[in-house]
Amino acid sequence: MDKPMDGHTSLNITTKYVSPYGCGTQIPIWMNGSIPVIGDGMVARQACAGTFTNTCAIAYSLKVKRCDITTVIYCLENLPSSIQQRYCFDYDPQTMTSTTTSTPSKSPIAQNSISPGGRHITVNT
């Protein structure tokens, strides 16, 4: 289920491999590593674009910082427009307003266009 990212929802970048088409895009991108804890500062992580045969066929660099208990900042690398790939984020429908009647579960969603001025996003978790 794709949803627009507005920076005020319960989202974190997916930290587990997502199979192709798993979050609404041909090649999903997930973060290889954990979300940092408060006090870690800005940390470098590897983002992976996975395929059916390779969980990290294409590697990207990203930076992540947990500012406080509810806020995480992501600095994401721009993606080439020639490949159908997007960053995937988890969301918990129990913490989001929704009009669907599906069973709540954490599901990855795709996000490519994060902000017009760059690839920095603040997410309240």
The DSSP string of 55-95 is TTSEEEEEEEEEEETTEEEEEEPPPPTTS-EEEEEEE-GGG
* Side chain identity at residue 20, one-letter code: P
Q: What's the whole-number average pLDDT of the chain?
A: 75
Residue of 120, 111, 116, 110 lying closest to 62 (CA atoms): 120
Cα atoms in the Cβ-side hemisphere of radius 13 Å centred on 91: 23
Note whether 104 and 60 are within 8 A (CB).
Answer: no
Tell me the three state secondary structure of residue 122. Answer: strand
Q: What does the pLDDT average to over 36-63?
A: 95
Report the pLDDT value the prediction gives residue 120, as an integer from 0 to 100: 45
Quote the pLDDT of residue 42. 94
Amino acid in position 45: R
- The residue among 4, 77, 16 whose CA lies nearest residue 50 is 16
pLDDT of residue 10: 62
**54 CB-side CA count, 13 A:** 6
pLDDT for the residue numbered 93 = 57
Q: Is the pLDDT of residue 45 over 80?
A: yes
Query: Does residue 55 carry a pLDDT above 60?
Result: yes
